[in-house]
Amino acid sequence: MLELFDGIRDELQAVEEELRSFVQCSDPLITETSVHLLNAGGKRLRPALSIFGGKFYNFHLEKVLPLAVALELIHMATLVHDDVVDSSLTRRGIPTVKAKWGNSISTHVGTYLFARSLVLISRYEDQPLISRVLSNTSVKMCEGEIQQIAGAFDLGQSFKDYFYRIKRKTALLIAASVQLGAVACGAPAGIHQPLRRYGHFIGMAFQLTDDILDMVADQQQLGKPVGSDLREGIITMPVIYALAESNRRDRLRELVGKTVKDEGEIKEAIDIVRECGAIEYSFKVVRRYVLKAKEQLAGLPGVPARAVLLQAADFIGARKF
């Protein structure tokens, strides 16, 4: 993915510098924890998508920069809170804020980062669509996370339940990123609405691929233990498919429903899921989302950013970690 961003390397460097500047605080603990998060790295996917969205119409970096930084702060805030909820000790192979500073500090750092994003969003007073979309998106992201917690170990979940959850958990913020980059540069609805739909579809594909890789990638690639979703009782598409289609579904129900599983049980559950074609089926759904995303770009101006977004959709559909 990162090589696709070569054309906006200078813009992303500006985002990185602004992020580091913006999380500085008179309280050294807040600064230390925030910088720790930044140093953990990340794809900076959401800021990049906002920049590419802006490239479709009268792009100026100063118009998009506050938005790009705000998007990454919102994303970082959700990661910190997720790590508290999931009791995650590592992310991308390094200790989480939760692991180093505990739940209380982590919760408040996440809230602080989100609050800082509001400061940046307030700069777009003359473009109310930006605050409206991001406020609605933030509400729905919380709904998705709460549904995920409430649905832990619930074996009765359907594909509809799953899609509802990942739309709110991941796709909405990605959709907002591409759309609002264009909005920040003054693009009309004929440009920013197709970009929003593109972002929605690649966001769905992105999260679905994450959930597949949780079962087929190795720990070094993931930066976290394989089978994390199974440990936490998160029911993903491959599991939903296997619970319906596997000839070992009864054993899988027994394994998935256990609130405490050892490594042997995690491996057995993954083997059952993989044996019944659930991974292949899930990748087919990913490819359908990728195709839908690319279709949204067909009527947009043939700017260089359009070609990059087409490549990005293909990359998400084929990524291995």
Give the model's pLDDT for residue 82: 85
Rounded-to-integer distance, Cα 237 and Cα 216, Å: 14
Give the model's pLDDT for residue 27: 87
Q: Is the separation of the CB atoms in 124 and 131 below 8 Å?
A: yes
Give the model's pLDDT for residue 320: 61
For the chain, the domains span 2-318
- Spatial CA neighbour of 89 closest among 79, 99, 80, 81: 99
The structure tokens listed for 206 are: 């992105």
Distances in Å between the Cα of 263 and the Cα atoms of 47, 83, 196, 255 are 37, 21, 41, 11
What's the whole-number average pLDDT of the chain?
92
Q: Which residues have CB under 8 Å from 30's CB, separation 6+?
A: 23, 109, 112
- Spatial CA neighbour of 73 closest among 29, 18, 146: 18
Q: Is 28 exposed, middle or buried (0-12, 13-18, 19+ CB in 10 A)?
A: exposed
Give the model's pLDDT for residue 223: 60
2-318 CATH choice from 3.40.50.300, 3.90.1150.10, 3.30.420.40, 1.10.600.10: 1.10.600.10
Burial letters 224-254, b for 16+ CB under 10 A, else e: bebbbbbbbbbbbbbbbbbbeebebbeebbe
**What end-to-end distance do the CA atoms of the chain give, in Å?**
10
Give the model's pLDDT for residue 72: 96
The structure tokens listed for 62 are: 């100063």
pLDDT in tens, 16-53: 999 999 988 888 998 999 988 888 878 899 999 999 99
DSSP code per residue over 126-194 = T-HHHHHHHHHHHHHHHHHHHHHHHTTT-TT--HHHHHHHHIIIIIHHHHHHHHHHHHHTT--HHHHHH
- Spatial CA neighbour of 195 closest among 90, 298, 92: 298
What global pTM score does this model have?
A: 0.94
Give the model's pLDDT for residue 140: 96
Give the model's pLDDT for residue 24: 86
The structure tokens listed for 171 are: 């796709």
pLDDT in tens, 234-272: 999 999 999 999 999 999 999 999 999 999 999 999 999
- Spatial CA neighbour of 58 closest among 151, 181, 186, 177: 186
Rounded-to-integer distance, Cα 3 and Cα 87, Å: 32
pLDDT profile of the chain (321 residues), mean per 10:
84 95 88 88 91 97 97 94 82 84 91 94 96 96 92 95 96 98 98 98 96 84 76 95 97 96 95 96 97 96 96 85 52
DSSP state of 301: -
Q: Is 299 exposed, middle or buried (0-12, 13-18, 19+ CB in 10 A)?
A: exposed
